[in-house]
Amino acid sequence: MALVSLGGGEESSGQLKVRDRSFQLRQNLYLVGFGKAVLGMAAAAEELLGQHLVQGVISVPKGIRAAMEHAGKQEMLLKPHSRIQVFEGAEDNLPDRDALRAALAIRQLAEGLTADDLLLVLISGGGSALLPAPIPPVTLEEKQTLTKLLAARGANIQELNTIRKALSQLKGGGLAQAAYPAQVVSLILSDVVGDPMEVIASGPTVASVHSVQDCLHILNRYGLRAALPRSVKTVLARADSDPHGPHSCGHVLNVIIGSNALALAEAQRQAEALGYRAMVLSTAMQGDVKSVAQFYALLVRVVGAHLTPPGPGTSVEEDEQLYELAAKLQLPDLQLKEALEAVAGAGSPVCLLAGGEPTVQLQGSGKGGRNQELALRVGAELGQWPLGPIDVLFLSGGTDGQDGPTEAAGAWVMPELASQATTEGLDVATFLAHNDSHTFFSRFQGGAHLLHTGLTGTNVMDAHILFLRPQ
Ligand SMILES: Nc1ncnc2c1ncn2[C@@H]1O[C@H](COP(=O)(O)OP(=O)(O)OP(=O)(O)O)[C@@H](O)[C@H]1O
Ligand SMILES: O=C(O)[C@H](O)CO
């Protein structure tokens, strides 16, 4: 069943159905949105609800309309005389003046709503940078500097967004409060492991549960408390004594409409339709890309041994090593034992799927992305041992269609990668040492192993897919 659909009667007495809730479209319908995938979401909303829509404002990354036009993706574009105003900003995922203008237009629209109105909010990853409205006296530049410093010192997205919420007019439930008493329905595409609605795009329609103490702990942890600008101290001190407490969001329905788990479930269905025995291993793949690559390479050896007739196979130690590596990666939802049992003696080709967002410690000045680096590392690892009578292919791709600052979505590799590269005069280790995976894949076999999808219009982290086929 569609998560979002139109129901009820024909003309204006229709209903907007979201999951099991219905909203009368006799109310005036408004739309706002912010995030990397919001242009396509807004186009879909316009297609479905256009005749009911009074006005809309969205904030999307700079250049996205031109990119979609260039790629001929008409379904991702708004109609010529759309009632939705588009702001483009936040180049390189950093809040800027254009994004600030968008945020103020969104705030203005929300503040003008009444109890007769329904506000549809479209949210996807990248939304934090596309909706900057610092609480005065904090300036955009101060907020930008603080978030950059936190990110550079290794703060994770939960920590980063806790600080962003404390300093923002619209994050942490602020947008929902501005729209009160209108009814608010937020449709959210998750780009965060575990789909925490209060973290994705800093939860503009989700009540914040964090205290000033939480913010101070985070700032302490990254050595930033002492050097805070006076304005930030002022805002935090004010929040500490705010008698109103956290925003109330009783008039809001927040719904996750897209996630890594949903994307992988569909990929699993497609693989099964192609004759693979398919299993989703985890949708919370995190950790350093080197450890993640070792995990997949060892997984291939262990699964390969389960799939093929008795031969050299893997040792008990390798099975144990795989579980140890998995434990080190701390994947709360990992279905490793289940997957190994399911593939044992499958007699058919096997497809193992996982998703999430590993991290790359950048050392070199090369060109690449998480997915191409992961694929290259897996390819290099796989070439180190003989694998027995089995064909193996590993693919890693960003669901948004763009891996880091490259035009590719990712890459795919086979165990022969390193030896074939050597015959072309390409040394995999040298490219890895400089985080230069994109240059490698652009040269290797004329770029045949690069995955090119173009911008997909979604953004639900990365997909890792492993195909194993007994020969
Ligand atoms: N040369 C490189 N090699 C490997 N990874 C890189 C390289 N340069 C950047 N990256 C990685 O690319 C990522 C940044 O890419 P991008 O700006 O597309 O963000 P993103 O995390 O992919 O966004 P989203 O979560 O919305 O998909 C970071 O994880 C960064 O470590
Ligand atoms: O915008 C953000 O805050 C990140 O992409 C996480 O959703």
Please check the confidence at residue 313 and state whether its pLDDT lies above 80.
no
d(CA 36, CA 398): 13
202 lines ligand 2 (CB under 6 A): yes
Task: For the chain, state the CA radius of gyration.
Answer: 24
pLDDT digits (tens, 9 = 90+) for 14-40: 788 888 888 888 779 999 999 999 999
What's the complex ipTM?
0.95
d(CA 161, CA 198): 9
Counting ligands in written order, which one lies closest to the CA of residue 198? 2
Which of 202, 286, 357 to mutate for ligand 2's pocket (most ligand atoms within 8 Å of CB)?
202
pLDDT digits (tens, 9 = 90+) for 344-371: 776 789 999 999 999 998 887 899 999 9
Going by C-alpha positions, the residue among 95, 223, 228 that lies closest to residue 168 is 95
205 lines ligand 2 (CB under 6 A): no
Which of 94, 199, 205 to mutate for ligand 2's pocket (most ligand atoms within 8 Å of CB)?
199
Counting ligands in written order, which one lies closest to the CA of residue 160? 2
- Name the DSSP letter for residue 9: S
pLDDT digits (tens, 9 = 90+) for 378-431: 999 999 988 888 999 999 999 999 999 999 999 999 999 999 999 999 999 999
Ligand 2 center to 137 CA (angstroms): 24
Which of 39, 161, 362, 365 to mutate for ligand 1's pocket (most ligand atoms within 8 Å of CB)?
362
d(CA 112, CA 100): 18
Q: What is the pLDDT of residue 364?
A: 79
Q: What is the pLDDT of residue 244?
A: 52
Counting ligands in written order, which one lies closest to the CA of residue 200? 2
Amino acid at 183: Q
Amino acid at 458: T
Contact predicate 59/89, CB 8 Å: yes
β-bridge partners, 466: 352, 394
Amino acid at 13: S
User: In the structure, what pLDDT confidence band is assigned to residue 12 with cuts at 50, 70 and 90?
Assistant: very low
Q: Which two structure tokens, joined as six digits, stand for 186?
A: 């937020």
User: Which residue has its alpha carbon closest to ligand 1 atom 21?
Assistant: 404
How many CB atoms lie under 10 A from the CB of residue 208? 22
pLDDT digits (tens, 9 = 90+) for 36-51: 999 999 999 999 998 8
Task: Please provide the average confidence, as pLDDT, over all residues in the chain.
Answer: 92
Please check the confidence at residue 335 and state whether its pLDDT lies above 50.
yes
H helix and E strand count, the chain: 17, 15
User: Which residue has its alpha carbon closest to ligand 2 atom 2?
Assistant: 201
397 lines ligand 1 (CB under 6 A): no
Ligand 1 atom with the smallest distance to the CA of 359 is: 29
The vertex-54 CA angle with 205 and 41, nearest 5°, equals: 55
459 lines ligand 1 (CB under 6 A): yes
- Name the DSSP letter for residue 394: E
Q: Which two structure tokens, joined as six digits, stand for 385?
A: 């041992």
Strand-strand pairing, 252-258 and 450-451: unpaired
Backbone dihedral angles phi then psi of residue 196, each to the nearest 5 degrees: -75, 115
Q: What is the pLDDT of residue 311?
A: 55
User: Which residue has its alpha carbon closest to ligand 2 atom 7?
Assistant: 200
Ligand 2 atom with the smallest distance to the CA of 129 is: 1
pTM of the model as a whole: 0.92
